[in-house]
Amino acid sequence: MPVSDSPSTSRRLLALLSLLQARRDWPAPALARRLDVSERTVRRDIERLRDLDYTIDSTRGPDGGYRLQAGSQLPPLVFDDEQAVAIALALRTASSLGVDMEEAAARALGTVTRLMPSRLANRIENLEAASSGDRGRVVVDPGVLLRIGEAIRVGEELRFDYASPGSDPVGEDAPAPRRNEPHHLLLHAGRWYLIGYSPEKAEWRIYRVDRITPRSHSGRRFEPRTVPGGDPARFLAARFKGSTGADTWACWGEATLDVPLAAVAPYLADGSAEALAANRCRVRLGSWSWGSLAAAFLRFEADVAEAEPAALRAAFATLAERARSASRP
């Protein structure tokens, strides 16, 4: 619909820019109809935008048209209401991304909200992201993320120092730089991880990005590989469950608990349970080891019986001995 019967040039330019951002190609007659002006006026307005450093190509066709392209610098942008709210919400929660750019996000949020109409600002004013008390949060240098992302894009091997727990990052005993073919960069539980292939070890490796200090690129190029299973996110999730294959726990077991089903159901995560009686249920859980699985059953503070398989029963025996030792003065 037209912006106005007699729109000012500035309002018309903003409306034109918003339309150009909304889709890839615009026929000149369609732009003229949307703005309620002549095609000649559209051509003049396109030239005004080009003078403001917007890269706008002319497209061929029966009617001719225009296409907004990426330029050499970031020009002013125009957002609709939903886009503005989405950007503000993303900036408010930037601290949860684990990237050291809170100050830049705060400045950008101030710019966006300062220009927002009150009807939009009121929708997000109460959605504060609490981060001041999160002293243990791990953040990464955005430059390191960009460096890794570029290596993934061009298929170039990375050389980097890696601060493994307990290692000395400097001195004579410092470990040799790692060499890795980077394939995927993922955010998981507030931390960034690199999934790459080690040609020296002939296996896939996972690295925490906050422990990576890139060195100069070796320049060696590599052909992209497919992560086992084909899904990087599931591959990463499987490693956190102690599995080198499917996205599932390495150990699964069942046991009967003398407790109502309602008392355990909210805490089963990817486990399951069924009621056997009013105060008894059969529970199935998974974990990365048999010992941790046995401990998971004991956290319900109920009598445990009929545990399967045998490895789980052996883990209960081991935990019982450890508990006895811990109870001695």
**316 pLDDT exceeds 90?**
yes
Instruction: Give pLDDT tens digits for 34-49.
Output: 988 999 999 999 998 8
Query: For the whole prediction, is pTM greater than 0.85?
Result: no
Cα 7 to chain centroid, rounded = 43
Task: Specify the DSSP class assigned to residue 242.
Answer: T
Summarised one tens digit per residue, pLDDT across range 295-308 is 999 999 899 999 99
Q: Where do the structural domains in the chain lie, given as residue ranges?
A: 9-69, 81-124, 142-165+174-240, 251-327
Terminal CA-CA length for the chain: 82
Mean predicted confidence (pLDDT) in 214-225:
85
User: Taking residues 129-147, what's their average pLDDT?
Assistant: 66
* Residue given tokens 């996000």 in the structure block: 105
| Residues in a beta bridge with 314 | none
Among the four given CATH numbers 3.30.200, 3.30.70, 2.60.40, 3.40.50, the one describing domain 251-327: 3.30.70
Indicate the pLDDT class of residue 184, thresholds 50, 70 and 90: very high
Name the strand (E) or helix (H) holding 212. strand 212-214
Burial of 35 (0-12, 13-18, 19+ CB in 10 A): buried
Average pLDDT over residues 73-102: 73
Fold of the domain spanning 9-69: Arc Repressor Mutant, subunit A (1.10.10)
pLDDT of residue 133 exceeding 50: no
Q: Are 307 and 315 a contacting pair, CB within 8 Å?
A: no
270: phi then psi, degrees, rounded to nearest 5? -95, 15
**What's the DSSP call for residue 73?**
S
Distance CA 37, CA 7 (A): 9
Block residue for tokens 């059953």: 297
d(CA 302, CA 315): 17
Annotation: CATH topology of 142-165+174-240: SH3 type barrels. (2.30.30)
Q: Which tokens hold the place of 122?
A: 């009121």
